[in-house]
Structure 1
Amino acid sequence: MPNRTNLEAETNLEAETDSPIVLPPLHPGEVLREEFMVPLNLTAYAIAKACGVPRTRIERIAREEIGITADTALRLGRYFELDPRVWLNLQTAFDVETARRALGDTVDRITPLVRDAA
């Protein structure tokens, strides 16, 4: 039988512990930082200058202190040649997951609307 790699062992923790691994929601700032700034050696200043926004906006997004607005998504989309909806979808997914965790089972206790089958 072949040996499992470390990655396989690490990604199979759920099966070994019988409980799901809960990761924090992915903030778009993490994507900006880890997928663009670090590998491309870009500073917040360089991105901000190219996009015409304050340096602090990019810094705060990268530090995951603030979210991505439609304005910023359009600018980052143009700069990185991505559809701006990529940035907005990341932000929406983060917001929904953060709210879901904050609300706990409150949403589950809402009775869905029952419609007449007319």
Structure 2
Amino acid sequence: MAEALGIRMKSPAHPGDFLKHEVLDELQLSVTEAAGILGVTRPALSALLNERSSLSPEMALRFEKAFGLSMDTLMRMQNSFDIAEARRREGDIHVLPYKAPTAASAPKQR
């Protein structure tokens, strides 16, 4: 709801954490079993669930097909997580605001 109002959460969950606890744990599936269901490698799924990789659109679609989760919702979770991560690193990104040249400082054309 907060996101619908244009307010983003400061620490949204990584979608891998959500999928691990709300899908695999709830269904009592091992990573190996879930990887087989999804048609992906165990290491690829493990990296997502342990927050070492991002959720790709393809993986979100696999979760949608296998478990009925909305791909769109999962991708919004990833986007919110990515935005929060970028905001946390904002101080490390040094970019000055662009200032358009004024007529007085613009180079004269001939």
TM-score normalised by structure 2 residue count: 0.71
CA offset digits 1:8-61 (Å, max 9, x no partner)? xxxxxxxxxxxxxx9643101110111111121111111111111111111111
Give the Cα–Cα distance (whole angstroms) in 2 for the partners of residues 35 and 78 of structure 1: 16
RMSD: 2.7
Query: Greater helix percent: which structure?
Result: 1
How many residues align? The count is: 92
Gaps of 5+ in 2: 1-8, 99-110
The corresponding residue for 2:101 is none
The corresponding residue for 2:41 is 54
Greater relative CO, 1 or 2 (CA 8 Å, sep 6+): 2
Which of these residues, 84, 89, 103, is aligned with residue 76 of structure 2? Answer: 89
Give the Cα–Cα distance (whole angstroms) in 1 for the partners of residues 42 and 93 of structure 2: 39
1:76 aligns with 2:46: no
Give the Cα–Cα distance (whole angstroms) in 1 for the partners of residues 16 and 34 of structure 2: 13
Give aligned-pair identity as a percent: 29
Gaps of 5+ in 1: 1-21, 112-118
Give the Cα–Cα distance (whole angstroms) in 1 for the partners of residues 47 and 92 of structure 2: 31
- Alignment check: 8 A CA contact 1:28 1:87 kept: yes
1:4-43, aligned counterparts within 5 Å?
A: 24-43=11-30
Runs of 4+ in 1 over 6 A off after TM superposition: none
TM-score normalised by structure 1 residue count: 0.66
